[in-house]
Amino acid sequence: MSLKKLLGFSLGPIVAALIGLISVPIITRLVLPEVFAQISLAHITVQLLLFGCLAGLDQAYIREFYETKSKVKLLTHTLGVNVLISVLLLILLYVFRDEVAYFLFDKSDALSVGLIGCILFQTMLLRYLKSGLRMKGMALSFSLVTILQSALNLIFILLLINFEILGNLHAILSANLISISSVTILAFLKLKLNFNNEPVKFDMLLFKSLLAFSLPLLVSSLFMWVLYSADQYMLRILSDFTELGLYSAAYKLCAALTLLQGIIAVYWIPLSLKWAKNNESIVSYERAGFIVSNVLLIIFLVVIVLKDWLILLLGENYSNALQIFPYLLMFPIYYALAEVASVGFSISRKNKFLVPITASCALVNIVLNYFAIPFWGAKGAAVVTAITFMLYFYLRLYFSNKVWKKVSYKSYNYLSIISVFTLIFSESNFSVYISLFILFVVSLNFLVKEKDTVLIICKKLRS
């Protein structure tokens, strides 16, 4: 894939993430933490149901796209199965609508549960359509759909709430549904699917091969969901909506930094595989680790310095999120760093370790949250998130070194020591001054050691 096309595919997620980041302080000024908590619960419930609905078959569709001659046949054996599963899930949602509503919203709310069901179905369709755009190399169309979804979502939220057409919760869920449905139609028109009335018979061999590929991915995805989202369910059970709302708002701000992981993955994985093919020295990988860890550390320190201003963006009702925010930064930082440090899995084709690693971290997350949340609420959940993602990173690095060449821990330990030290003093009166001093030292050290790299980047940006 050319650099131009890579940039074309990257544009959509980058702009969409920025719109999502802008929308967080807008929404928090429109709704109370309790309502924001309910919105967050609805979103992670859709994600959980989507994993069950897709069953990893969307990834199998991508994997077999170029291998299967009949695209209609492939689609009926993947999306067709997903539609059947989604119908079953929608029936279950309807039957247990009161139980689901009381858990998510603490009241009977059939409309919100119905909106969740509709969002689930449309999101499933959109997943396949966007995959089709990707596989056909339609980079600009893919980015257009991705950007429009985020932009329309924000526009309809503002319209529905400001004109008091619906209550806050219903307005935001309805805006989600309208935006997803709109871009689903657009993606369908862009893709120009041609079925040609092709007769399709059920192919057991194809279906078995699809399941063999998809089911392990389903298990891995569910564990990743637990790692990312189970803490919010546990806050709902073990704490209250206010604590969950504060946590969710701070989490949304930090989650925007997961964009770093996407950018790193786009460029680093192909580069590392190319290096492996050319038998590049391990020194090159360690230098890449040094550069990425220092850049991430500088970003972390800058955000810590500006944290008071960032939390002010959320509004007065969310001021207590200031204590939560610094710890949650560990999630996107270590998630992005894991892409660089554990490249050995991709090179050696030994991804089997990823499932037990994710499962172990998910279990640790649940156990620690069980004890931390009743005593410290949202702050306890944030500290557990920081611990869990640090563990996730180091386990991936350790086992990557086992299956491939041994990469030095030095740069990563450097980041960990400084970030933990900064977090310890993050609530002190001198936290900004301490962070500024550390930022100066880290930046100076990086500029001295990577002066040539910085100069090359500056020249490229100018040109």
Q: What is the structure's pLDDT at 112? A: 94
DSSP assignment string, 85-149: HHHHHHHHHHHTHHHHHHHHHSS--HHHHHHHHHHHHHHHHHHHHHHHHHHTT-HHHHHHHHHHH
Question: 213: which DSSP letter?
Answer: H
**Integer angstrom CA distances of residue 75 from 129, 163, 183, 187:** 11, 41, 20, 16
Q: What is the structure's pLDDT at 107? A: 92
Question: 425: which DSSP letter?
Answer: T
Q: Rounded CA gap, 236 and 97, in Å?
A: 18
**Integer angstrom CA distances of residue 202 from 69, 71, 206, 214, 415:** 15, 14, 9, 18, 53
Which among 274, 377, 277, 270 has a CA at the least distance from the CA of 321? 377
**Integer angstrom CA distances of residue 37 from 90, 330, 362, 374, 396:** 23, 21, 22, 17, 32
Q: What is the structure's pLDDT at 197? A: 64
Question: Mean pLDDT of successive 10-residue segments in the chain (463 residues)?
Answer: 65 85 89 93 93 87 77 83 93 95 93 96 93 85 92 94 82 95 93 68 81 80 86 94 93 78 71 83 89 91 88 84 90 89 80 86 95 95 96 94 89 94 88 92 89 70 60
**Tokens linked to 71:** 């695209």
Which among 80, 324, 68, 374 has a CA at the least distance from the CA of 202? 80
Compute φ and ψ for 260, nearest 5 degrees: -60, -40
**Integer angstrom CA distances of residue 384 from 26, 55, 417:** 28, 29, 17
Q: What is the structure's pLDDT at 241? A: 94
What pTM was computed for the model?
0.87
Q: Which residues contact 175 (CB under 8 A, 6 or more apart)?
A: 152, 153, 154, 155, 156, 157, 159, 160
Amino acid (1-letter code) at residue 243: E
Using a 10 angstrom Cβ sphere, with 0-12 exposed, 13-18 middle and 19 or more buried, the burial of residue 428 is exposed
Q: Rounded CA gap, 266 and 325, in Å?
A: 27
Q: What is the structure's pLDDT at 195? A: 62
Q: What is the structure's pLDDT at 279? A: 86
**Integer angstrom CA distances of residue 80 from 56, 62, 200, 343:** 13, 15, 12, 35
Q: What is the structure's pLDDT at 111? A: 94
Q: What is the structure's pLDDT at 63? A: 77
Compute φ and ψ for 312, nearest 5 degrees: -60, -30
Q: Which residues contact 76 (CB under 8 A, 6 or more apart)?
A: 200
Question: How far, rounded to the nearest angstrom, does the alpha carbon of residue 169 sit from its chain's CA centroid?
Answer: 23
Amino acid (1-letter code) at residue 158: L
**pLDDT tens, position by position, 202-214:** 778 888 888 887 8
- For residues 175 and 162, is the Cβ–Cβ distance under 8 A? no
**Tokens linked to 12:** 């959509």
Q: Which residues contact 246 (CB under 8 A, 6 or more apart)?
A: 33, 318, 320, 321, 324, 378
Q: Which residues contact 414 (CB under 8 A, 6 or more apart)?
A: 293, 297
Q: Rounded CA gap, 310 and 316, in Å?
A: 12
